[in-house]
């Protein structure tokens, strides 16, 4: 058993070393530096999770959570800013004062909210972005180079964030993928507009009341001092005498025709300007919401141009916002897009089906994970349907643009001409696998050949369930699996029986790949025979893990055979040396009378005679490795003609 373990360990070690040499650092993408010491500047999202760098994934959970927090902070800042309009208060002593307690509270809250903008700037400097050139397929590659991230941010959005000119961030991800979230967001904006209008109306009411007091003061006293209207001078004897002799209460009243308050008359009638903060805030919010919803139809304005302009703004803003609110709520309640609604319906049907069939919990989780990953990768777009409706020349050009660079990553296809690559690109179909998904099992029929675009998979084999045999390797970007189909497709004697898989392949991370089904592969493989190139055969052998396993076993068997021969020779030499020290004996006497020889000589003779019978006590089981592992079928790359 120990010998079998040693064989397994050496075999796995050989394949892992050959994998590392062949892949040239592809699976080391999660590290900060590549094998040659150069710092990586691009990385896939699934490999990014293992990266030991302080750069955030823009599609990751932390960035999505921070986007929601920052959006809430921005909306809160928009809510807090109009509250400063409530600082002036009209006292019953006919003066205007500032609410110091409210001013301190709002200043502290606003300062805390401003700290979120600084944190946002830090996050933007630490958040990777998607390379524009990699958006042609899948989710794209992340740029994780800090200098490139900083340069892009400084050129575009840094100054906007610094000056807080854009208080609302661009919400993306799952933020608006729910109907109630989109409807609530638009309703909140509508309420925010009502809040701003109500606070503006309150401030203008204070200003209008102050104008009336100034007019009365100037009318009765041509040299009236406006400082009397400030509550800071309430203890001044001159102000007390002026207030007793003045008739402010009778003239600055809604029932009086002395001054036109217009749309601000309710503030004086209900003493809104002198009420407590919570009471006047609720009334002003209601005033703004009522007039915004009625587009200002109930407003009775005066003849002042500023007042009329304010009423016009209310009417236009109410008309626009109300139309947007109704339209957006209808859109979001019916789904943000048709694709999203179809996805929701599909997800609901899937949940009902799984519940009806009483699937276990782990199967339900796997189905939900796959549906979510497919939505994130494709955004619900059925690419095959779109391409199917296009002309053949345009479809070929688009397929070439999307797949050519990815196909060239596969070493087996990199040596083909452009026409053959076009034929391959036309027949490739996208495939998605979630972590833990089993792509193919050992012994199952292989119906497609998979070319990995991004992600990592684990490929292992037990050589048909043989005891003590286990071989494993990792597949990454540029690798392929299902190579058993290639000899079947290149076989000049056609057969309908698909080959069996020699390995079990499971996804370790989220995997995006392109698949060639058996029929399409047979068409593409038929083109290989026209190449007359032995290099394709060597390339296929080098990148085929089935051939690597066979090569590892072949090398192990050769090594064990060499060690057996070497040990046999050493035992013979020791036997001859030991017999030379026994006086008066010959080789025949030694074997005919073993009891007269030393114990060491007898043991050496037994070990020496065992290899002659074709068996080694130590290396015998390992010599059967090559015999039990069948040599892979050789693809026929030759021309039929």
Res 286 pLDDT > 90: yes
Q: For residue 409, tell me if it sits in a domain.
A: yes
8 Å CB contact between 199 and 267 = no
Q: For residue 175, tell me if it sits in a domain.
A: no
Residue 486: partners with Cβ closer than 8 Å, 6 or more residues away: 449, 521, 525, 540, 635
Residue 445 and residue 389 in one domain: yes
Q: Please, what is the Cα angle at 297 between 291 and 298, to 5 degrees?
A: 70
Domain end residue (candidates: 333, 366, 398): 333
Nearest to 490 by CA among 372, 369, 345, 639: 639
- Percent of the chain at pLDDT > 90 equals 5
Q: For residue 262, tell me if it sits in a domain.
A: yes
Residue 373 and residue 389 in one domain: no
Of 36-45, 302-311, 464-473, minimum mean pLDDT range: 36-45
Res 464 pLDDT > 50: yes
Residue with tokens 């060499």: 562
- Ramachandran category for residue 463: left, alpha or beta (phi over 0 → left; psi -120 to 50 → alpha): left
Q: Which helix (H) or strand (E) holds 471?
A: strand 471-475
Res 622 pLDDT > 70: no
What value does the mean pLDDT take over residues 236-265? 77
DSSP annotation string for 140-206: --EE--HHHHHHHHHHHTHHHHHTT---S----TTTTSSHHHHHHHHHHHHHHHHHHHHHHHHHHHH
What value does the mean pLDDT take over residues 23-41? 41
Residue 371 and residue 411 in one domain: no
466: Cα within 13 Å, side-chain hemisphere: 22
What value does the mean pLDDT take over residues 57-71? 79
What value does the mean pLDDT take over residues 273-288? 90
What value does the mean pLDDT take over residues 199-217? 87
| pLDDT of res. 62 | 80
Res 604 pLDDT > 60: no
Mean pLDDT of the residues in the chain: 72
Cα–Cα dist 481/463, whole Å: 16
Residue 573 and residue 618 in one domain: yes
Res 320 pLDDT > 50: yes
Q: For residue 441, tell me if it sits in a domain.
A: yes
Quick: pLDDT tens for 423-434: 778 888 888 888
Reading the block at residue 436, the tokens are 């833990």
Residue range(s) defining the domain that contains residue 620: 556-628
Confidence of residue 196 (pLDDT cuts 50, 70, 90): very high
Confidence of residue 603 (pLDDT cuts 50, 70, 90): very low
Residue 191 and residue 235 in one domain: yes
| pLDDT of res. 19 | 41
Q: For residue 5, tell me if it sits in a domain.
A: no
8 Å CB contact between 263 and 200 = no
Report which of residues 403 and 315 the model is more confident about.
315
Cα–Cα dist 409/87, whole Å: 66
Residue 499 and residue 446 in one domain: yes
Cα–Cα dist 611/618, whole Å: 11
Residue 405 and residue 497 in one domain: yes
What value does the mean pLDDT take over residues 263-287? 88
Residue 386 and residue 460 in one domain: yes
Give alpha helix (H) positions in 49-99.
61-80
Res 222 pLDDT > 50: yes
Report which of residues 362 and 641 the model is more confident about.
362
Residue 316 and residue 342 in one domain: no
Domain end residue (candidates: 121, 137, 170): 170
Which long-range CB contacts under 8 A does 370-378 form with residues at least 24 apart?
A: 370/432, 370/433, 370/434, 370/437, 371/343, 371/346, 371/347, 373/432, 373/434, 373/510, 374/432, 375/343, 376/59, 376/139, 377/138, 377/139, 377/432, 377/512, 378/430
What value does the mean pLDDT take over residues 295-311? 86
Q: Which helix (H) or strand (E) holds 237?
A: helix 237-245
What value does the mean pLDDT take over residues 170-175? 39
Q: For residue 257, tell me if it sits in a domain.
A: yes
Cα–Cα dist 271/10, whole Å: 91
Residue 204 and residue 264 in one domain: yes
Res 606 pLDDT > 80: no
Res 172 pLDDT > 60: no
Confidence of residue 194 (pLDDT cuts 50, 70, 90): very high
Confidence of residue 105 (pLDDT cuts 50, 70, 90): very high
Q: How many domains does the chain have?
A: 5
Reading the block at residue 455, the tokens are 């992600």
Report which of residues 58 and 35 the model is more confident about.
58
- Percent of the chain at pLDDT > 70 equals 64
Of 20-24, 143-147, 409-413, 530-534, minimum mean pLDDT range: 20-24
Of 76-90, 179-193, 325-339, minimum mean pLDDT range: 325-339
Report which of residues 488 and 616 the model is more confident about.
488
Residue 455 and residue 322 in one domain: no
| pLDDT of res. 417 | 74
Q: Could you tell me how far CA 187 lies from the centroid of its own chain? A: 29
Res 334 pLDDT > 80: no
| pLDDT of res. 624 | 52
Residue 304 and residue 400 in one domain: no
8 Å CB contact between 629 and 549 = yes
């Amino acid at each position: 058993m120990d010998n079998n373990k040693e064989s397994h360990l050496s075999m796995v070690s050989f394949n892992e070393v050959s994998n590392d040499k062949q892949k040239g650092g592809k699976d080391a993408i999660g590290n900060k530096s590549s094998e040659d010491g150069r710092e990586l500047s691009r990385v896939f999202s699934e490999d990014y999770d293992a990266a030991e760098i302080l750069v955030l994934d823009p599609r990751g959970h932390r960035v999505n959570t921070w986007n929601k927090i920052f959006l809430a902070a921005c909306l809160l800042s928009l809510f807090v800013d109009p509250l400063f309009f409530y600082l002036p208060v009209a006292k019953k002593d006919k003066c205007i004062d500032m609410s110091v307690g409210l001013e301190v509270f709002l200043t502290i809250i606003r300062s805390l909210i401003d700290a979120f903008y600084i944190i946002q700037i830090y996050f933007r400097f630490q958040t990777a972005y998607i390379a524009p050139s990699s958006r042609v397929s899948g989710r794209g590659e992340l740029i994780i180079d800090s200098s490139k991230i900083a340069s892009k941010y400084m050129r575009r959005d840094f100054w906007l964030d610094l000056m807080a000119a854009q208080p609302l961030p661009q919400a993306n991800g799952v933020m608006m993928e729910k109907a109630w979230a989109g409807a609530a967001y638009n309703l909140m904006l509508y309420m925010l507009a009502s809040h701003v209008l109500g606070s503006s109306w309150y401030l203008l009411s204070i200003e209008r009341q102050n104008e009336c007091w100034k007019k009365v003061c100037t009318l009765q006293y041509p040299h009236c001092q406006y400082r009397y209207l400030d509550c800071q001078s309430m203890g001044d004897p001159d102000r007390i005498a002026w207030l007793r002799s003045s008739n402010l209460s009778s003239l600055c009243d809604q029932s009086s025709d002395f001054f036109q308050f217009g749309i601000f008359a309710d503030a004086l009638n209900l003493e809104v300007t002198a009420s407590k903060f919570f009471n006047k805030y609720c009334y002003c919010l209601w005033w703004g919401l009522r007039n915004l919803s009625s587009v200002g139809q109930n407003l009775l304005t005066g003849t002042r141009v500023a007042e009329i302009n304010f009423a016009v703004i209310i009417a236009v803003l109410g008309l626009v916002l109300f139309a947007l609110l109704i339209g957006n709520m209808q859109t979001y309640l019916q789904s943000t897009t048709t694709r999203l609604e179809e996805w929701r319906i599909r997800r609901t049907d899937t949940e009902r089906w799984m519940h009806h069939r009483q699937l276990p919990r782990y199967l339900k989780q796997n189905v939900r994970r796959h549906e979510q990953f497919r939505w994130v990768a494709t955004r619900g777009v059925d690419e095959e349907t779109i391409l199917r409706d296009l002309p053949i020349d345009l479809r070929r050009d688009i397929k070439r643009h999307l797949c050519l660079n990815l196909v060239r990553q596969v070493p087996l296809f990199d040596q083909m001409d452009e026409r053959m690559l076009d034929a391959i690109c036309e027949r490739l179909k996208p495939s998605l696998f979630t972590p833990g998904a089993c792509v193919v099992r050992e012994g199952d029929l292989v119906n497609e050949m998979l070319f990995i675009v991004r992600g990592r998979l684990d490929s292992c084999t037990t050589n048909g369930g043989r005891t003590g045999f286990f071989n494993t390797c990792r597949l990454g970007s540029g690798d392929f699996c299902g190579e058993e189909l290639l000899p079947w497709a290149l076989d000049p004697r056609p057969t309908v029986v698909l080959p069996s898989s020699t390995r079990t392949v499971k996804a370790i991370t989220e995997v995006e790949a392109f698949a060639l089904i058996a029929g399409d592969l047979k068409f593409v493989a038929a083109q290989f025979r026209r190449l007359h190139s032995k290099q394709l055969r060597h390339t296929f052998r080098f990148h085929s893990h089935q051939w690597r396993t066979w090569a590892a076993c072949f090398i192990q068997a050769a090594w064990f055979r060499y060690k057996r021969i070497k040990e046999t020779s050493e035992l013979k030499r020791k036997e001859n040396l030991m017999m030379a020290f026994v006086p008066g004996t010959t080789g025949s006497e030694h074997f005919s009378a073993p009891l007269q020889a030393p114990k060491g000589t007898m043991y050496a003779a037994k070990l020496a005679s065992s290899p002659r019978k074709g068996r080694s006590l130590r290396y015998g089981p390992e010599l059967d490795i090559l015999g039990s592992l069948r040599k892979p079928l050789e693809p026929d790359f030759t021309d039929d003609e």
